[in-house]
Chains A and B, each alone.
Chain A
Amino acid sequence: MAEAHSPLTGLRAPALFALIGAAAVAAAPPFLDAFASNVLTRSMLYAALAVTVDLLWGYTGVLTFAQGAFFGVGAYATALMLTHLGATPALFVAALALAIVLPAALGALVGWISFYHGSTPLFASVISLVFPIVATQLVYSGGAWTGSSSGLVGYDVLPLEGEGFFRLAGLLLVAVLVAAWVFVRSDAGKLLIAVRDNEARCAYLGLDPKRIQIALTAILAAVAGLIGFVFANASSVVAPENVGFVFGTEIVIWVALGGRATLFGPAFAAIGIDYLSAQLSGDLPFLWQLVLGSLFVVTIIVAPEGAAGLARRLWRGGTAAPPRLLSLEAAPRETKAGPLLAVRGLSRGFGALTVLREIDLSVKSGELLSLVGPNGAGKTTLMRCLSDGREPFRGEIAMGGQDIAGRPPNRVAALGVGRKFQVASIFEGLSVADCLRLARASHETPSAWRASAALALPAPCVEVVKLTGLIDQLGAPARLLSHGLKQALELAMVLALEPQLVLLDEPTAGLTKGERTLIGEVLVKLTAGQGCAVVLVEHDFDFVREISSRIVVLHQGRLVMDGTVEDVANSALVREIYSGGGHG
């Protein structure tokens, strides 16, 4: 169907939901009694909050307990302004702005503390727990100004009645849900899953996973603050519990029970559980908490995908049609005089152990350089130094004339270095097409609301996709690919970057003879035909001999030979090294 490729197709369902949801919210109040209406107003705001936690935790893998506190900061900012400054229309606008900007700034701060090179997910979670505790203590120590432990009450709120607030909360929930839905199915939304699945791969594709996490934390803190603004108006009371970490953990529980990474599951779970809590807390407060806690533990262990995930297991929707593959014209390469890669006096040690000693090496465009040597010669360490400027090496590595020292992998990638790992490093949770699309994200900023129907890739990448048969698997989840296809996919992703220098660590390990020949052909075409340079680590000497234009031999961390295929193949030294007599 031609229709299936209209860029707006995927937006039909969210648009329909937006209409139905808004209509339902607008029509509901006359059918609800005052109690239900009041509780549901709150529940729907909590549900919107649960959606933001789902984006962070379910999609991006950042387990956060701080969203409750950002919500509380927004609510307190609103209540403080309305209490101490008054409630003129201008001040309402100012309160709204403050309720968004303040949490966003704090979110950026919390993000900066939580995400840095080498930070662990556990650390981020603990920091997200510290923030609400600090915020609560500040509220307590604010005395009469913040209302301390009794909170703030009795300030003037927006001139809406109960029904009005119900509709406002409902519309906010629908808006947050629809925005989140459109975003996660857009091209840019796939970044979240990529960061969750494989931060390292993101970085080597030229993307900065830490910056994505910090930005997301700040943006969703702003959304939480906005929800807090509405809450402060609708409830006309704010209390320290709204900032506290217990509330933050409750939201996580809703998301877990509803089903992480499903958006609707957490929203419905939040509404259901909060509404039931309001009903039951009078009769059996402790028992209810006990049941909820037990259910939570059991869900985490037995059914981590939550209720919505279980429902999805039973009812499988049709998978989306795979995108059309387009081949991009190769961008004109600016060929500079001089070597593409220049390494001078490179040494790298781990404690007392020296792995690389005084390596000098230069690589020109169009070369296919093979790096050979026995195990432990330092080949992989050399590859790591070439692609990550934060490795504590001595000496100098220049890529296209630029020193890479201190540059993280994403900024080395920006200089035109693409690296393929020994063990295929891909995004297990994404489809093949989405993996490839993300590999282009550092070149073309992906759309935050559209899911493209076409997939435009550079010609060498398309060739790999076609030759290896990946083209028939574009719609399939990457985690289901065979070992060989995973290797091919990673190679294609690296080529999609249009690198000037490709680093390949044993790209043919575990592949069949046929697949190996295919990859060899692609590499030869890439270097001889396209002017790209390739540095290849390989054990299979026959393969190396067939395709290389130059061979470098590493032994015990030293570069012992640098010559043509013939030189190396006929070298007595190399034979000695490989037969094990080369010590001393």
Chain B
Amino acid sequence: MLLALDILSTAAILFLVALGLLAIFGVLKIINFAHGAWLTVGAYCAVLAARLGLNPWAAVPLAFVVGLTLGGLAEILIIRPLYRRPLDAILATWGLGIVVGQLITLVFGRDVQFAPALLPGAWRIGGVEYSAYRLFAIFAALLAGALYALMFETTRLGLLARAVIMNETLARALGIDTARVRLFTFMLGTGLAGVAGVLLSPLTSVDPNMGVAWLIGAFMLAMVADASYVALGLASLAFGAVQVLVSAYVSPVLGGVAVAVLAALALRLRPRGFARG
């Protein structure tokens, strides 16, 4: 039971962390290397909210808005000029990640910070005491997935995004303002990353480089899922299971690595990703 809960909550956290990256990967076809920085920004929003004496939950909308705003600026100033040079766009987002990391260091210092617990205590479930917050994470992932699906399948932005994912040239030829779809998607992705950062903050220590640790897992998930949030959910479960089982039975250090290696091999042997079966 404990193991099952561990797997579910780990998968939920992976899903939350990768969702913003996936949105951007699907529409803009680039891996946003600054994703770690947006997670970090989100986590520092939690720290900031605590310093201002706000309710810890206020950090969630705060991080979303901050992520949205910074993401919009980044898209217009950095991503858009590099539209025709995707590898350069990736590099530029990496550079942006460095800049954001150093700015945070200048403001908050490089010391580890601690964010307040959003949901302290433990709940009894299925005969075991389990961290309430980790249980909440499962719920949060389901909620985020549902909201994302709702937006993707029912709203106009979702429809346009699907059109751009399928065939951007055609979408543009049909008069869809693809530049705007890209902008909104990027903003949404960074906003989601900010929220994920807040949700991570009670689980890990908050420092200027915290985002980097989550990068590779999120990258591999997004590449395996190949723009499909359903596939992302399944991949998160598979990765979560591997990570928990390897950590429990082999070595905690190798847990995270096992995911990366597994994903690399999965992609090598099944190049189209899992999404297209």
Q: Which residues between 97 and 130 of chain B lie within 8 Å of chain A, taking CB atoms?
A: 98-99, 102-103, 105-106, 110
A553 to B81, CA, bound (A): 47
Decide if B105 touches A63 in the complex (CB within 8 Å).
no
Decide if A297 touches B216 in the complex (CB within 8 Å).
no
Q: Which of A123, A141, A300 has the most CB of B within 10 A?
A: A300
A286 to B103, CA, bound (A): 8
Residue B78 at the chain A interface, CB threshold 8 Å: yes
Residue A137 at the chain B interface, CB threshold 8 Å: yes
Number of B interface residues, CB 8 Å?
42
Residue B64 at the chain A interface, CB threshold 8 Å: no
Q: Which A-chain residue is minimally distant from B215 (CB atoms)?
A: A129
Decide if B257 touches A133 in the complex (CB within 8 Å).
yes
A410 to B78, CA, bound (A): 38
Decide if A129 touches B216 in the complex (CB within 8 Å).
yes
Q: How far is the CB of B141 from chain A (nearest CB, A)?
A: 23
Residues of A within 8 A of B133 (CB): none
- A interface, how many residues as a size bin? 35 or more
Q: How far is the CB of A283 from chain B (nearest CB, A)?
A: 14
Proximity string of chain A (129-146) to chain B, C-beta cutoff 8 Å, 1 when within and 0 when not: 110011001101100000
The stretch from A96-104, A111-119, A400-408, A554-562 touching chain B is A111-119
Residue B253 at the chain A interface, CB threshold 8 Å: yes
Decide if A297 touches B264 in the complex (CB within 8 Å).
no
Decide if B81 touches A301 in the complex (CB within 8 Å).
yes
Residue A294 at the chain B interface, CB threshold 8 Å: yes
Decide if B220 touches A293 in the complex (CB within 8 Å).
no
Residue A256 at the chain B interface, CB threshold 8 Å: yes
Decide if B254 touches A113 in the complex (CB within 8 Å).
no
Residue B156 at the chain A interface, CB threshold 8 Å: no
Decide if A130 touches B30 in the complex (CB within 8 Å).
no
A116 to B267, CA, bound (A): 11
A134-B257, A297-B96 are contacts. A287–B106 as well, Cβ < 8 Å?
A: yes
Q: How far is the CB of A115 from chain B (nearest CB, A)?
A: 10
Residue B265 at the chain A interface, CB threshold 8 Å: yes
Other-chain contact of A137, B86, B102, B253 (Cβ < 8 Å): B253
Q: Which residues between 69 and 106 of chain B lie within 8 Å of chain A, taking CB atoms?
A: 78, 81-82, 85-88, 90-92, 94-96, 98-99, 102-103, 105-106
Other-chain contact of B95, A121, A130, A140, A253 (Cβ < 8 Å): A253
A301 to B90, CA, bound (A): 11
Q: Which B-chain residue is minimally distant from A118 (CB atoms)?
A: B271
Q: How far is the CB of B24 from chain A (nearest CB, A)?
A: 13
Q: Which residues between 247 and 277 of chain B lie within 8 Å of chain A, taking CB atoms?
A: 251, 253-254, 256-257, 260-261, 263-265, 267-268, 271
Decide if A130 touches B216 in the complex (CB within 8 Å).
yes
Q: How far is the CB of A65 from chain B (nearest CB, A)?
A: 9
Decide if A126 touches B96 in the complex (CB within 8 Å).
no
A480 to B177, CA, bound (A): 32
Residue B38 at the chain A interface, CB threshold 8 Å: no
Residue B44 at the chain A interface, CB threshold 8 Å: no
Residues of A within 8 A of B267 (CB): 123
Decide if B102 touches A286 in the complex (CB within 8 Å).
yes
Decide if B91 touches A63 in the complex (CB within 8 Å).
yes
A130-B216, A300-B91 are contacts. A290–B99 as well, Cβ < 8 Å?
A: yes
Q: How far is the CB of A432 from chain B (nearest CB, A)?
A: 25
Other-chain contact of A119, B102, B219, B271 (Cβ < 8 Å): B271
Proximity string of chain A (280-293) to chain B, C-beta cutoff 8 Å, 1 when within and 0 when not: 00000011011011
A130 to B221, CA, bound (A): 13
Residues of A within 8 A of B19 (CB): none
Decide if B90 touches A63 in the complex (CB within 8 Å).
yes
Other-chain contact of B102, A113, A116, A141, A293 (Cβ < 8 Å): A293
Q: Which B-chain residue is minimally distant from A141 (CB atoms)?
A: B253
Residue A38 at the chain B interface, CB threshold 8 Å: no
Residues of A within 8 A of B257 (CB): 133-134, 137-138
A580 to B254, CA, bound (A): 65
A126 to B30, CA, bound (A): 11
Q: Which residues between 296 and 310 of chain A lie within 8 Å of chain B, taking CB atoms?
A: 296-297, 300-301, 304
Residue A127 at the chain B interface, CB threshold 8 Å: yes
Q: Which B-chain residue is minimally distant from A250 (CB atoms)?
A: B98
Residues of A within 8 A of B98 (CB): 289-290, 292-293, 296
Residue B223 at the chain A interface, CB threshold 8 Å: yes
Residues of B within 8 A of A287 (CB): 102, 106
A63 to B88, CA, bound (A): 9
Residue A198 at the chain B interface, CB threshold 8 Å: no
23 pairs, CB–CB < 8 Å, chain A vs chain B: A113-B264, A117-B271, A118-B271, A122-B29, A125-B90, A126-B219, A126-B223, A130-B260, A134-B257, A134-B261, A140-B253, A141-B254, A256-B91, A286-B106, A286-B110, A292-B98, A293-B96, A296-B98, A300-B82, A300-B91, A300-B92, A301-B92, A304-B85
* 10 pairs of A and B residues whose beta carbons are closest in the complex: A293-B98, A297-B95, A290-B102, A296-B95, A293-B99, A141-B253, A137-B257, A300-B92, A130-B260, A286-B105
Measured CB to CB, the residues of B under 8 A from A are: 29-31, 78, 81-82, 85-88, 90-92, 94-96, 98-99, 102-103, 105-106, 110, 212, 215-216, 219-220, 223, 251, 253-254, 256-257, 260-261, 263-265, 267-268, 271
